[in-house]
Amino acid sequence: MDRILLALAARGGVASARQLASAGCTRHFLELAVRDGLVLRLRRGWFALPSVSIDERRAVAAGGVLTCASALASRKVWVLAERELHVAVAPNAVRSPARGVRLHWSEWPGCGRESSSRDGIRASILHAVECLPEEEAVMALDSVVDKGLLPYDDLIELSSLASAGRRRVFDLVVRGCQSGLETRIRLAGMRLRARVRAQVPVEGVGSVDNVIGDCLAVETDGRAFHTGSVQLEEDYRRTLALQARGFVVVRLSSRQVLHEWPATEATLARLVRRRVHLWTPGQRQRLHNEGWEPGTLKYSAGSANQP
């Protein structure tokens, strides 16, 4: 029995009957392991340890492996909630997807599977680029880079494998976006033809999530990270410090960015049309007189006016 459990563990928790047989596992003991609940039968000829995630087990039961948004989410990549399970099957597979399952048939050279239940990171990225709406795909790829799952330069190299109509997704990926919320704000600013910078260092404040134009600081607050009193006090401090430096501060909740986005984007568009995001020459001069360099927002050493 232990031989079966060790053989499954060595293969990431999922294996075929043929793979288990090659590891010296007999059919008799395999059936006993299934009967005792030590091993799960996913479909004919395929078995898993109970510790394997439900999504990976469902993918194997559907005849393939976890891929696209589902595989990226399993790696803690920032993806919007998916109603469907994304499953990669062989290009010649003849299968009808089960309810709630989206099948992917494509394969690319050098982009293989990580295990018997999950696609490799490169294949998962390419499936996401081909499958997801452009904005959602950029959110995911920004997150892949931020989490260090694939170096930025290696990610960009994958663009040559994507279809011509989807290569633009790679052009929109940048370093530094730490959440899909920040990516969505950045892309909105680009659509408004305004300069957008992510994770902008401001002396005395820290990194600002996004700065549109010169001075429209957009901070996106994921609820899980901004509910404690200590964090709220820090948010208030940052807001006041940014305002003292000539910024217009907009602080958005995850709900406003994810679930009320049309209204939120329309408000940002109005601010840009009113040129709130740009410093006037007079504002630039006042900042300079106070000892701040508007281009860098660093304080000039030796000024007597440092707040």
Greater model confidence, 15 or 290 = 15
Length of the chain counted residue by residue: 307
The number of helix segments (H) and strand segments (E) in the chain equals 14, 12
Q: Which CATH superfamily is domain 180-299 in?
A: VSR Endonuclease (3.40.960.10)
For residue 286, give Cα distances in angstroms to 200, 201, 205, 244, 289: 21, 21, 19, 11, 5
pLDDT tens by residue, 133-179: 999 999 999 999 999 999 999 999 999 999 999 999 999 999 989 99
Q: Cβ-count burial of 307 within 10 angstroms (0-12 exposed, 13-18 middle, 19+ buried)? A: exposed
Point out the least confidently predicted range of 43-52, 237-246, 278-287: 278-287
pLDDT tens by residue, 203-225: 889 999 999 999 999 999 865 44
- Dump strand ranges (E) for 171-225: 196-202, 206-212, 216-221
Q: What CA–CA distance (Å, rounded) separates 40 from 101?
A: 20
Q: 104: pLDDT confidence band, cut at 50, 70 and 90?
A: very high
Give percent of the chain above pLDDT 90. Answer: 74
Point out the least confidently predicted range of 98-112, 171-185, 201-215, 278-292: 278-292
- Dump strand ranges (E) for the chain: 14-16, 40-43, 46-48, 65-66, 85-88, 101-104, 196-202, 206-212, 216-221, 248-253, 292-293, 298-299
Q: Above 70 in pLDDT, residue 297?
A: no
Q: Quick one: DSSP state of residue 300?
A: P
Q: Above 80 in pLDDT, residue 295?
A: no
In the chain, where the domains are located = 2-52, 57-171, 180-299
The pLDDT of residue 307 is 32
DSSP character string of 84-115:
SEEEE--TT---PPPTTEEEE----TT--BSS
Q: Cβ-count burial of 59 within 10 angstroms (0-12 exposed, 13-18 middle, 19+ buried)? A: buried
pTM of the model: 0.86
Give me 28's structure tokens.
């008799």
Give me 239's structure tokens.
């807001």
Q: What CA–CA distance (Å, rounded) separates 204 from 219?
A: 16
